[in-house]
Amino acid sequence: MRVTMIGSGYVGLVSGACFADFGHEVTCVDLDQAKIDGLKRGVMPIFEPGLDDLVARNVEAGRLTFTTELAPAVKDAAVVFIAVGTPSRRGDGHADLTYVYEAARQIGQAVNGYTVIVDKSTVPVGTGDEVDRILREANPSADVSVASNPEFLREGSAIGDFKRPDRIVVGVEDDRAKDVMEELYRPLYLNVAPLVFTGRRTAELIKYAANAFLATKITFINEIADLCEKVGANVQEVARGIGLDNRIGSKFLHAGPGFGGSCFPKDTRALVRTGRDYGAPIKIVEMVEEVNEARKLAMAERIIAASGGDVSGKRIAVLGLAFKPNTDDMREAPSLAIVPALEKAGATVAAFDPEAMEQAKPLLPNVVYAEDAYSAIKDADALVILTEWDQFRALDLARVKSTLKSPVVVDLRNVYRPDDMAQRGFTYSGIGAAG
Ligand SMILES: NC(=O)c1ccc[n+]([C@@H]2O[C@H](COP(=O)([O-])OP(=O)(O)OC[C@H]3O[C@@H](n4cnc5c(N)ncnc54)[C@H](O)[C@@H]3O)[C@@H](O)[C@H]2O)c1
């Protein structure tokens, strides 16, 4: 099948490369000339494990091409995906649909013959209806169906998630579109990934409900962690104790510095706005947003307290800046709240992240960027583990101790064991265990 992806960011590029790998003929389109030029030369615009090989293999096989020219790429396609960004709108937290609607208008002008236009971007309920209207306004004789196919891949394990999904959700309003989508996903369906067909509005809501639920789970365990610290309990054991219950499940029960990333913050905000707009406020998610924002700043206070109550003139080493390991994505990373708060309190922050430093530099311009973990730690008054990259799980602790000015470790990801760290002479604090 001929498939066109509008938007070649995380979602568009990964999905496009995976569809090509299934044997479809895929064109990835992006407005960003530099991104497309880079892709043509085999340079990935993002860090995602395995992506460069996957792209190279499919380009070589002639199934994957890149272009900035939307119209010719849309003209011959059977399926056109919209995979552009839907960031938070400044000021009110609604999803900004400018890119989606602009893409729809351009697709409408270019479309030729029966085409299924599929929204893969995360969009509020009813966006499919508006996309349909825009397409028909741009081209009254267009023979199109509009479907919704939200994406659930996770950055850092995006290819595996796309190829072996827990489920594929497809919202359609007619059987013609359903048949095309079934054919498109047939290679995956054979791998027994459940293909869930539903209405377009329901599919749109499923995506927000899923993200809001996961964000709630994280926030729940974070608050339980705070309680653990007060009452002398251990949050990791609580998480295991509840997670083994199949009704609860063990995933997303790791207490930490609060969620960030390209999806959870903006998607919880957008769901809250939709709930209010329709007179059905989702109060639990409103609270999740509030608690999560406050938590990031509380983490800075925790670091200051661990450093003796005052960080003015002190050097704080931060390991990990990306919002999670195996990505260079800095969007709404907790580091963007924690590091400036430390700097405001007078600290100099020295940081190292294996992949995200180039992305971080314009966002955190006052940070001293180090070449590796040990250079960041050198002469620091405290070490903070902020993102649990694998390489921070196996630090040479004797070297860490002798490199630090004072042996203070604040482990916001519970990578190390408190008793072990105490035995090695560190003043250690993790999350959710009595100190
Ligand atoms: N990143 C994730 O892990 C993830 C996971 C699931 C869903 N999503 C959703 O997928 C959507 C895309 O997210 P992303 O992280 O891939 O965004 P991104 O910012 O990485 O990529 C979007 C791309 O679209 C391009 N673009 C915008 N308008 C265009 C147009 N008219 N024509 C061609 N290209 C255009 C931009 O230049 C950019 O390269 C969002 O709605 C997001 O919420 C993201």
Ligand 1 center–CA 290 separation, angstroms: 26
Cβ atoms of 48 and 327 closer than 8 Å: yes
The end-to-end CA distance of the chain, in Å, is: 59
Residue 212, pLDDT above cutoff 80: yes
pLDDT tens figures, 313-352: 999 999 999 999 999 999 999 999 999 999 999 999 999 9
Which tokens in the block code for residue 14?
């990964």
Q: What is the mean predicted confidence (pLDDT) over 385-409?
A: 97
Contact partners, residue 60, CB within 8 Å, separation at least 6: none
Residue 86, pLDDT above cutoff 70: yes
Residue 208, pLDDT above cutoff 80: yes
Pairing of strands 115-119, 144-148: parallel
Measured torsion, CA atoms of residues 283, 289, 290, 293, in degrees rounded to the nearest 10:
180
Local confidence band at 90 (pLDDT 50, 70, 90 cut-offs):
confident
pLDDT score, position 351: 98
Local confidence band at 435 (pLDDT 50, 70, 90 cut-offs):
low
pLDDT score, position 11: 97
Which tokens in the block code for residue 127?
């966006």
Q: What is the mean predicted confidence (pLDDT) over 405-413?
A: 98
Q: How much is the pTM?
A: 0.95
- Return d(Cα 198, Cα 207) in angstroms, integer: 13
Question: Ligand 1, atom 44: nearest CA belongs to which residue?
Answer: 11
The residue to mutate among 84, 169, 204, 263, having the most atoms of ligand 1 within 8 angstroms of its beta carbon, is: 84
One-letter identity of residue 61: A
- Return d(Cα 128, Cα 134) in angstroms, integer: 10
pLDDT score, position 188: 84
The residue to mutate among 15, 18, 29, 30, having the most atoms of ligand 1 within 8 angstroms of its beta carbon, is: 30
Work out the widest C-alpha separation in the chain, in whole angstroms.
75
- Return d(Cα 15, Cα 167) in angstroms, integer: 15
Of 431, 363, 65, 15, the C-alpha closest to 224 is: 431
Residue 434, pLDDT above cutoff 80: no
pLDDT tens figures, 180-198: 999 999 988 776 778 999 9
SS3 of residue 383 by DSSP = strand
Lay out the sheet containing 382-385: strands in order across: 368-369, 348-352, 315-319, 382-385, 408-411, 427-429
Contact partners, residue 208, CB within 8 Å, separation at least 6: 122, 124, 125, 267, 270, 271, 274
Q: Give the residue numbers marked as catalytic.
A: 263
Ligand 1 center–CA 10 separation, angstroms: 6
Ligand 1 center–CA 23 separation, angstroms: 23
Q: What is the mean pLDDT of the chain?
A: 97
- Return d(Cα 333, Cα 177) in angstroms, integer: 38
Residue 358, pLDDT above cutoff 80: yes
Residue 128, pLDDT above cutoff 70: yes
CA 12 from centroid of its chain's CA atoms: 14
Residue 363, pLDDT above cutoff 80: yes
pLDDT score, position 166: 94
Contact partners, residue 250, CB within 8 Å, separation at least 6: 239, 240, 243, 244
Contacts 24+ apart (CB under 8 A), 21-26: 21/54, 21/57, 21/58, 21/63, 21/163, 22/187, 22/188, 23/63, 23/187, 24/63, 24/184, 25/1, 25/63, 26/58, 26/63, 26/64, 26/65
Mean pLDDT is lowest, of 284-288, 404-408, 431-435, for 431-435
Of 264, 246, 243, the C-alpha closest to 254 is: 243
Mean pLDDT is lowest, of 154-168, 177-191, 266-280, 360-374, for 177-191
Residue 376, pLDDT above cutoff 80: yes
**Which protein residues touch ligand 1 with a CB less than 6 Å away?**
6-12, 29-32, 35, 70, 83-86, 99, 102-103, 106, 121-122, 151, 153, 155, 262-263
